């Protein structure tokens, strides 16, 4: 790898000459059937369900440290390795992995911009050859990183003008017209920015240019001096939003459980 750290957002042409570097850990969070058909050479497959915990009706919670340690050891992660994550959907699953790594203090990571769409559509090498991960002994410990928001944190900042809430769900979910919890609507004060709005459909699902995204966020009243918490239904879509905010230089958090937590409680306020 280059002497300088890899950027947070990595372009396919920068990744290609690094594929054989053992200091890199390339992780594919695409669907298993897609990975079996084609993937980037050297990529290990990681099933998305292994990095989230369910406690019905709440989903998308952080796994416990023992489970996460087992998962990360199985793919060969060590503290020195730099993770490059991608998926086949524009980055939601990949970003959830990166948010989880941030939560345990592993900050050596990048998102492949555009993921499998950009890599495949722009003629980079693909393979069906499985990659055998060399297991490690990685110990995951959740660190005090200020990247995770919970219900208590959000409630304590409702109405706080130094904090903002960004709802990454669809407009129908935000307005309570499509409901996937006991209650519909959104957290009071939250503004709606559907996660796919950050993707450039004409550039293989890459993130839109930073200036364009900042303009969109400022139009919603989200300014650089705020701490922004992103949420969706289970912090899958909003993990992509969290990554976008981090890339743009915002202080950003993600709400594990998201609306599946807030909307299924009876002690949280709701707007629609």
pLDDT in tens, 186-224: 999 999 999 999 999 999 999 999 999 999 999 999 999
CATH classification of 9-121 is 3.40.630.10, yes or no? no
In this prediction, residues 235-247 reach a mean pLDDT of 98
Using the predicted structure, report yes or no on whether residue 135 has a pLDDT greater than 80. Answer: yes
pTM of the entire predicted model: 0.97
How far apart (Å, rounded) are the C-alpha atoms in residues 2 and 202?
Answer: 30
Give percent above pLDDT 70 in the chain.
99
What pLDDT, on a 0 to 100 scale, did the predictor assign at position 4?
62
Same fold, 9-121 and 148-262: yes
Q: How confident is the model at residue 93 (pLDDT cuts 50, 70, 90)?
A: very high
Q: Is the bond into 57 cis (omega within 30 degrees of 0)?
A: yes
- Confirm if 116 and 30 have CB atoms less than 8 A apart: yes
What pLDDT, on a 0 to 100 scale, did the predictor assign at position 182?
97
19-52 per-position pLDDT tens digit: 999 999 999 999 999 999 999 999 999 999 999 9
The catalytic residues are 232
The domain defined by 148-262 folds into Oxidized Rhodanese; domain 1 (3.40.250)
What pLDDT, on a 0 to 100 scale, did the predictor assign at position 144?
76
Give me the phi and psi of 192, to 5 degrees please.
-100, 125
Domain ranges of the chain: 9-121, 148-262
Q: How confident is the model at residue 145 (pLDDT cuts 50, 70, 90)?
A: confident
What pLDDT, on a 0 to 100 scale, did the predictor assign at position 2?
56
- Confirm if 199 and 263 have CB atoms less than 8 A apart: no
Q: How confident is the model at residue 3 (pLDDT cuts 50, 70, 90)?
A: low
Burial class of residue 198, CB neighbours in 10 A (0-12, 13-18, 19+) = buried
């Amino acid at each position: 790898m280059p002497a300088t750290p890899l950027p947070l957002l990595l372009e396919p042409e920068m990744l290609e000459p690094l594929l054989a570097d053992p200091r890199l850990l390339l992780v594919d969070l695409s669907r298993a059937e897609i990975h079996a058909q084609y993937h980037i050479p050297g990529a290990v497959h990681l099933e998305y369900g292994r990095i989230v915990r369910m406690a019905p009706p709440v989903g998308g919670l952080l796994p416990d440290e023992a489970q996460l340690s087992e998962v990360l050891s199985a793919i060969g992660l060590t503290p020195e390795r730099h993770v490059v994550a991608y998926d086949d959907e524009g980055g939601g699953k990949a970003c959830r992995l990166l948010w989880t790594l941030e939560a345990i203090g592993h900050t050596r990571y990048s998102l492949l911009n555009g993921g499998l769409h950009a890599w495949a559509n722009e003629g980079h090498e693909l393979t069906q050859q499985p990659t055998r991960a060399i297991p490690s002994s990685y110990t995951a410990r959740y660190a005090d990183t200020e990247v995770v928001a919970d219900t208590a944190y959000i409630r304590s900042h409702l109405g706080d003008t130094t904090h903002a809430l960004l709802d990454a769900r669809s407009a129908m979910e935000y307005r309570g017209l499509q409901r996937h919890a006991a209650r519909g609507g959104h957290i009071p004060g939250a503004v709606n920015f559907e996660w796919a709005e950050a993707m450039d459909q004409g550039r293989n699902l890459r993130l839109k240019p930073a200036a364009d995204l900042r303009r969109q966020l400022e139009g919603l009243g989200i300014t650089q001096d705020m701490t922004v918490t992103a949420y969706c239904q289970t912090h899958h879509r909003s993990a992509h939003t969290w990554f976008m905010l981090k890339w743009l230089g915002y202080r950003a958090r993600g709400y594990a459980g998201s609306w599946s937590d807030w909307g299924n409680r009876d002690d949280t306020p709701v707007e629609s």
